[in-house]
Amino acid sequence: MKLMNYVEGKWLEGKGDGTPLLNASTGEVVAHATSSGIDFGSVLHYARNCGNHNLRKLTFHDRGRMLKALALHLLEKKNEFYRISYLTGATKVDSWIDIEGGIGNLFVMSSKGRREMPDTPFYVDGSPEVLSKNGTFIGHHIYVPKEGVAVHINAFNFPVWGMLEKIAVNLLAGVPAVVKPATATSYLTEAVVKEIISSKIFPEGAIQLICGSARGILDHVTNQDIVTFTGSAHTGKMLKSHKNIVEHSIPFNMEADSLNCCILGEDVKPGSEEFDIFVKEVAREITVKAGQKCTAIRRTIVPKDMIEPVGEALSKRLAKTTLGDPTVEGVRMGPLASLDQKEEVLSKINQLKNSCDVVFENSNFELLGGSQEKGAFVAPTVLHCSDPFKTTDVHDVEAFGPVTTLIPYQGPDEAIQLAKMGQGSLVGSIVTADDSFATDMIMGCATTHGRILILNKDCAKESTGHGSPMPQLVHGGPGRAGGGEEMGGLRGVFHYMQRTAIQGHPTTLTKVTQVYQPGGARPEFDVHPFTKYFEELEIGDTLTTEKREITKSDIDSFAELSGDHFYAHKADSDFENTLFDSQVAHGYFIISAAAGLFVDPPKGPVLANYGIDELRFIKPMYIGATMQVKLTCKEKVAQEDREGEIPRGIVKWQVEVIDEENETAALATILTMVAKK
């Protein structure tokens, strides 16, 4: 079987025989892959002119709904993905992380897009900046989708997750993708892309797939494109220095394998829950995916007097690890992804042995299925580096397989120094019940780690673990880890967008951003804005209310009703050396009285009060003060129409309370649910 490439809206078979792809357990040929004959310049042109054009027309909510639909569709097909995944050497657990973990990224980003982003094709960033004395000239920032394509060059270890975690954010941003999976396991990626295309959920041009070599594709990227790379630091640096990338300042996000560490706290002793958690975590991180994880624990840093008990406990646990074909019942760890990887890992282990002692090694392991000769099996290995400050191979050499090295430390400062000697890591973890020790480790190690996990008995049961990047949090790291950053919720989306500063009059920027900007025009009408349906409201629609005088009875009654008897609200208080001159109205009374002025009582399009944001009490209001409200439609956020519910949207209103001197006394944003027509 020859794998297909999906380019320019059609499935295309590459020329020639292609590279044979093998079953990692048996060595049998699964498929052949080749991209020979594909015009990469034409592929990228198609993505920009078709895919980008189609996606940019959609809003974040549109794209978010598509991501959810795609996630649901892929879940229905997951059993077929599992069947194919076993051929890569992945066990059921390994495959769950790759397949359902990848689909989980789609669900998370779908929710982020629909709940945290506007129903527009662009995003307004932050607050306006007043740039002139009278406020007629302001500045703001917006994000718009780049007009190019995301080129994803992925690693072999997660052929599903590696693709889905990246396309989840670029598609939500409104940018199409060209996916180049690592050739060795590309047959699983191809199976998933076939389902993405057949679902017809995303518009034409949103995703393309290249199975086989993509050599030369970087010659055709432009400054509107984004390139991401996951894999070895050596390959990543070579691609990052490509002449076209450098000359055109093309964004290049690199996530490279790193020498991640796990630190055992000085407080943890054998027999404690934290000790068992530590041993279990380290063992899991070098056996899940056969240790082929960019986040796997390569350096196990423990107090010097704990080297022996940790080594014994870890060896005892790893001795129970059964190796073999993942389709055979009882197999706990499968092979590496390919024979090339096996040769590479064994070579690195031998290199580490030059400066490290062997703690655990099962060179005569038995297999449950699979082939010793043709399969890519490597047994778990634990080494010990007795002098990690002088023999530094442990901080430089990575065996990308089921391998970790025990490293001793004396005191927190040494632990921090050793962790940082990895020269930049994707993740570090700390197992301790001492929060002070954890704090010292975080403050000492944060600069060289993209993520840090603190594990103890209180969170271990629900923890996602050392090696599991979460779509809500950033994934990446400095230095050796590539210096890149992906995922991270909305942060990841913005990598595929251009942030632009915009300047002008508040009325103009209100129109541009579709969010009311202070100082902009506020047209008033005879019709109360609460009588308008969601579609009828315009940004800037304003109501100026009647006035109300604040009385002593108002303040005293509110104190009794609310139970708030703060001294400033009592007439007999001593106000010397305070912020107030005399008895002052409660801030919450002011905002409640404001609602009494602007709320339209009869039943109408306003369904409910949805909440209040950004409430500020700016100026005290005393007895005899007069308050008036300017209510302005600030922003509209459409909600999905759901069967059995009233179609509606959320309207954000600026509530400005003005006193008798025409100065702002309070400012808030209230939210209402407003029915659609």
Q: What is the 3-state secondary structure (H, E, C) of 198-227?
A: HHCCCCCCCEEECCCCCCCHHHHCCCCCEE
Spatial strand order of the sheet with 150-153 comes to: 10-13, 4-7, 207-209, 177-180, 150-153, 226-231, 252-256
* Pair of tokens at residue 458: 């209180």
Residue 452 · residue 473 · CB < 8 Å: no
- In tens, the pLDDT along 193-245 reads 999 999 999 999 999 999 988 889 999 999 999 999 988 888 888 888 899 99
d(CA 282, CA 465): 10
Residue 183 · residue 21 · CB < 8 Å: yes
- Is the pLDDT reported for residue 462 higher than 90? no
Q: Which has the closest alpha carbon to 22: 340, 333, 290?
A: 340
Q: What is the mean pLDDT of residues 341-366?
A: 90
Spatial strand order of the sheet with 452-455 comes to: 357-361, 381-384, 403-409, 297-303, 260-264, 428-431, 452-455
- pLDDT recorded at residue 366: 87
- In tens, the pLDDT along 135-182 reads 899 999 999 999 999 999 998 888 999 999 999 999 999 999 999 999
- pLDDT recorded at residue 506: 94
Residue 655 · residue 629 · CB < 8 Å: yes
d(CA 302, CA 359): 14
Q: Which has the closest alpha carbon to 321: 329, 313, 332?
A: 332
pLDDT-above-70 percentage for the chain = 100
Beta bridge partners, 153, equal 180, 229
CA 149 vs CA 172, 360, 457: distances in Å: 13, 47, 45
Domains identified in the chain and CATH numbers: 39-120+147-257+491-497 (3.40.605.10), 260-469 (3.40.309.10), 505-675 (3.10.129.10)
Which residues lie below 8 Å from residue 443, measured CB to CB, with a gap of 6+? none
Parallel/antiparallel/unpaired status of strands 428-431 and 260-264: parallel
What is the chain's mean pLDDT, rounded?
A: 92
Query: For the whole model, what pTM was predicted?
Result: 0.88
Most confident of 12-21, 524-533, 657-666: 657-666
Which long-range contacts link 316-322 to residues 24+ away (Cβ below 8 Å)? 317/279, 317/280, 317/283, 318/283, 318/286, 318/287, 318/360, 318/362, 318/380, 318/382, 319/360, 319/362, 321/283, 321/287, 321/379, 321/380, 322/368
DSSP conformation class of 47: I
- Is the pLDDT reported for residue 488 higher than 90? no
d(CA 489, CA 110): 10
- Is the pLDDT reported for residue 48 higher than 90? yes
Parallel/antiparallel/unpaired status of strands 252-256 and 260-264: unpaired
Residue type, 491: R
Terminal CA-to-CA distance of the chain, rounded, Å? 55
Residue among 262, 294, 385, 445 flagged as catalytic:
294
- pLDDT recorded at residue 306: 94
d(CA 101, CA 468): 9
Q: Which has the closest alpha carbon to 275: 455, 445, 453?
A: 455
Residue type, 267: D
- Is the pLDDT reported for residue 261 higher than 90? yes
Confidence of residue 69 (pLDDT cuts 50, 70, 90): very high
Q: Which residue has the higher pLDDT, 483 or 405?
A: 405
- pLDDT recorded at residue 300: 96
Q: What is the mean pLDDT of residues 588-615?
A: 91
Q: Radius of gyration of the chain from Cα atoms?
A: 30
Parallel/antiparallel/unpaired status of strands 226-231 and 252-256: parallel
d(CA 605, CA 481): 53
Q: What is the DSSP string of 463-504?
A: ---TT---TTSEE--SGGG-S--EETTHHHHHTTEEEEEEEE
Q: What is the mean pLDDT of residues 370-384?
A: 92
- pLDDT recorded at residue 637: 87
d(CA 505, CA 142): 16
- In tens, the pLDDT along 97-145 reads 999 999 999 999 999 998 899 889 999 998 899 999 888 999 999 999 9
- pLDDT recorded at residue 481: 86
- pLDDT recorded at residue 639: 83
- Which uninterrupted H or E stretch holds 169? helix 161-173
Q: How many CB atoms lie within 10 A of CB 20?
A: 11
Q: Which has the closest alpha carbon to 230: 11, 487, 421?
A: 487
Phi first, then psi: give them for residue 85, nearest 5 degrees.
Answer: -60, -35
Cα Dmax for the chain: 94
d(CA 666, CA 615): 7
- In tens, the pLDDT along 280-325 reads 999 999 999 999 998 999 999 999 999 999 999 999 999 999 999 9
- In tens, the pLDDT along 590-602 reads 999 999 999 988 8
Confidence of residue 66 (pLDDT cuts 50, 70, 90): very high
* Pair of tokens at residue 168: 């989840």
The yes-or-no answer on residue 294 being catalytic is yes
- In tens, the pLDDT along 395-428 reads 999 999 999 999 999 999 999 999 999 999 999 9
Q: Say how many CA atoms lie within 13 Å of 316 toward its Cβ.
A: 9
DSSP conformation class of 385: -
- pLDDT recorded at residue 156: 84
